Chain A
Amino acid sequence: MNAVTKTYTRGAHEVHALRGVTVGLPRGGFTAVMGPSGSGKSTFLHCAAGLDTPTSGTVHLGEAELSRMDETRLTELRREKAGFVFQAFNLIPSLSVADNITLPLRLAGGRADRAWLEEVVRRVGLDDRVAHRPSQLSGGQQQRVAIARALVTRPEVVFADEPTGALDTTTAGEVLALLRQVVDATGQTVVMVTHDPVAAAYADEVLFLAGGVIVDTVRSATADTIARRMSALGRSTAAV
Chain B
Amino acid sequence: MLGLAFATVRGRVPSLAGSFLALLFTAVLITACGMLMESGLRAQVPPERYAAAPVVLAGPQQTSIAKKEDGPVEVTESVPLEEPTTIPASLAGEIRKVPGVRDVVPDLTFPVGVLDGQGRAVHGRALGHAWESARLTPYTLRAGRAPASPGEIVLDAALAGTARLKVGAKARVLGRDGVRAYTVAGIAAPGLARQPAVFFTAPRAAELFGRPGRVSAFGVFGSGDPARLKDRIETALGTSEGTAARVSVRLKDGAPAAAGPVAYTGDERGLAENPGTSAARETLIALSGSLGGIAVMVAAFVVAGTFGLALRQRGREIALLRAVGAAPAQIRSMIGKEALLIGVAASVAGVPAGVLTGRWMFGELVSKGMIPDVFPLAAGPAPMLAAVALGTATAWLSARGAVRRATRIRPTEALGEAAAEPRALGRARVVTGLVFLALGVSVCVLSMFVAGETAAMSAGGIVILLAVAAALLGPWLVRIAVALVGGALGRASRVGGYLAVANTRTGARRLAAVVSPLTLMLAFAGTTIFTQSTVGHASARQAADGTRAGYVVTSAGPGVPAGVARAARTLPGVAGVTEVIDTRVVGDLEELGDRALRPYGALGLTVPAHGLDLDVRSGSLDRLRGAAGETVALSTLAAGSFGASVGDRVRLRLGDGTPITPTVVAVYGRGLGFGDVALPYDLVRAHTASGMADRLLVVADGAAAGRLAGLSPGLAVLDRDGVLAARDAAQEVNDWVNLIALGLIIVFIAISVTNTLIMATAGRVRELALLRLVGGTRRQVLGMIRWEALLVGGVALAAGTAIAAPTLAAISYGLTGSAVPHVRPAALAVMVAVTLGLALAGTLLPARAALAGRPAERIRG
Q: Within 8 Å of chain A (Cβ to Cβ): is B610?
A: no
Nearest CB to that of B768 among chain A residues? A92
- Tell me, in angstroms, the Cα distance from A99 to B499 when the chains sit together: 10
Q: A78-B775, A89-B861, A99-B502 are in contact. Are A106 and B420 (CB under 8 A)?
A: no
Within 8 A of A (CB), among B463-508: 494-495, 498-499, 502-503, 505-507
- Taking the complex as formed, is B767 at the interface, i.e. its CB lies under 8 A from any CB of chain A? yes
Q: Within 8 Å CB of B855, what residues of A? A: 51
- The 8 Å CB contact of B495, one of A46, A106, A135, A142, is A106
**Residue of B767, B773, B778 with most partner-chain A CB within 10 A:** B773
User: Given known contacts A52-B856, A89-B766, A89-B770, is B418 in contact with A107 (CB within 8 Å)?
Assistant: no
Instruction: Check B771 against A88 for contact (C-beta < 8 Å).
Output: no
- Docked complex Cα distance between A60 and B420 (Å): 39
Contact present for A88 and B854 (CB under 8 Å): no
Determine if B828 is an interface residue (Cβ-Cβ < 8 Å): no
Q: Are B495 and A133 in contact (CB under 8 A)?
A: no
B775 touches A93 (CB 8 A): no
Which of A71, A88, A133, A161 is B506 in contact with, Cβ under 8 Å?
A: A133
Q: Which residue of B lies closest to A73 (CB)?
A: B777
- Interface membership of B726, Cβ < 8 A: no
**Interface status of B226 (Cβ within 8 A of chain A):** no
Complex interface: chain A residues within 8 A of B772 (CB): 75
Instruction: For B253, list chain A residues within 8 Å (CB).
Output: none
Size bin of chain A's contact surface: 35 or more
Task: Report chain A residues within 8 Å CB of B420.
Answer: 93-94, 133-135
Please determine whether A89 and B777 come into contact, CB atoms closer than 8 angstroms.
Answer: no
The answer to whether B498 touches A106 (Cβ under 8 A) is yes
- B-side contacts of A52, CB under 8 Å: 854, 856
Is A144 close to B, CB under 8 A? no
A95 lies within 8 A of B418 (CB): no
Bound complex: CA of A52 vs CA of B772, how far in Å? 13
Q: Is B393 an interface residue (CB 8 A)?
A: no
Q: In the complex, are the beta carbons of A107 and B775 less than 8 A apart?
A: yes
Does B770 contact A92, Cβ atoms closer than 8 Å? yes
Contacts of A89 in B (CB 8 A): 417-418, 766-767, 770, 859, 861
A72 and B777 in contact (CB under 8 A), knowing A89-B418, A95-B502, A106-B494? yes
CA A139 – CA B419 in complex, angstroms?
12
A109 within 8 A of B: yes
Closest to A71 in B: B778
Chain B 351-387 interface 0/1 with A at a Cβ cutoff of 8 Å (1 = within): 0000000000000000000000000000000000000
Q: A51-B856, A92-B767 are in contact. Are A79 and B419 (CB under 8 A)?
A: no
Cα A95 to Cα B780 with chains together (Å):
16
B856 with A46: CB separation less than 8 A: yes
Chain B, Cβ-Cβ closest to A46: B856
CB–CB B775/A75 < 8 A: yes
CB of B428 within 8 Å of the partner chain: no
A135 CB, nearest partner CB in chain B, Å: 4
Is A90 an interface residue when CB atoms closer than 8 A count as contact?
yes
Question: How far is it, in angstroms, between the C-alpha of A139 and the C-alpha of B861 when the chains are bound?
Answer: 18
Find the B residue at minimum CB distance from A79.
Answer: B775
Question: In the docked arrangement, what's the CA distance between A51 and B773, Å?
Answer: 8
Residue of A nearest to B416 (CB): A135
Complex-state Cα separation, A92 to B771, whole angstroms:
8
Q: Is the CB of B854 within 8 A of A78?
A: no
Task: Say how far B516's CB is from chain A's closest CB, in angstroms.
Answer: 21
Looking at the assembled complex, report how far the CB atom of A189 sits from the nearest CB atom of chain B, in whole angstroms: 18
CB of B774 closer than 8 Å to a CB of A = yes
Q: Is A151 an interface residue (CB 8 A)?
A: no
**Interface extent on B, as a size class?**
20 to 34
State whether A108 touches B506 (Cβ < 8 A). no
Choose one: A76, A95, A149; the contact of B777 (CB below 8 Å): A76
Interface flags, B823-861, vs A, CB<8A=1, else 0: 000000000000000000000000000000011100101
- Evaluate contact between B773 and A78: CB separation under 8 angstroms: yes
Structural contact, B777 and A134, CB atoms closer than 8 A: no
A75's nearest neighbour on chain B, judged by CB, is: B777
Residue B776 lies at the interface, judged by CB distance under 8 Å to chain A: yes
Contact string against B for A residues 171-207, beta-carbon threshold 8 Å, 1 for contact and 0 otherwise = 0000000000000000000000000000000000000
- Report yes or no: A86 in contact with B859, Cβ–Cβ below 8 A: yes
Are A93 and B773 neighbours in the complex by a CB distance under 8 Å? no
How many whole Å from A58's CB to the nearest CB in chain B?
19
Closest to B856 in A: A51
Q: How far is the CA of A51 from the CA of B859 in the complex (A)?
A: 12
Also in contact, A149 and B506, with CB within 8 A (given A51-B854, A51-B856, A93-B418): no
Question: Is there contact, CB below 8 Å, between B771 and A135?
Answer: no
Residues of B within 8 A of A72 (CB): 777-778
Q: Does A91 interact with chain B (Cβ within 8 Å)?
A: yes
Neighbouring A residues of B503 by C-beta, 8 Å: 94
Please give the distance in Å from B515's CB to the nearest CB on chain A.
17
Given A52-B854, A88-B417: A93 in contact with B767 (beta carbons within 8 A): yes
Any B CB within 8 A of the CB of A84: yes
A104 within 8 A of B: yes
The answer to whether B774 and A84 touch across the interface, beta carbons within 8 angstroms, is yes
A75 close to B776 (CB less than 8 A): yes
- In the assembled complex, the Cα of A173 lies from the Cα of B530 at a distance in Å of 67
A214 lies within 8 A of chain B by Cβ: no
Binding site for B on A (CB under 8 A): 42, 46, 51-52, 71-72, 75-76, 78-79, 84, 86, 88-95, 99, 103-104, 106-109, 133-135, 139, 142, 149, 153, 161, 166
Sorted from nearest, which 9 A-B pairs have the closest CB atoms? A79-B775, A135-B420, A94-B506, A51-B856, A104-B775, A94-B502, A94-B503, A93-B418, A107-B776
**Interface CB pairs A-B, < 8 A, 22:** A72-B778, A75-B777, A76-B777, A78-B773, A79-B775, A84-B773, A89-B767, A89-B861, A91-B418, A92-B499, A93-B420, A94-B420, A94-B503, A106-B495, A106-B498, A107-B777, A107-B780, A108-B775, A109-B494, A134-B418, A149-B774, A153-B775
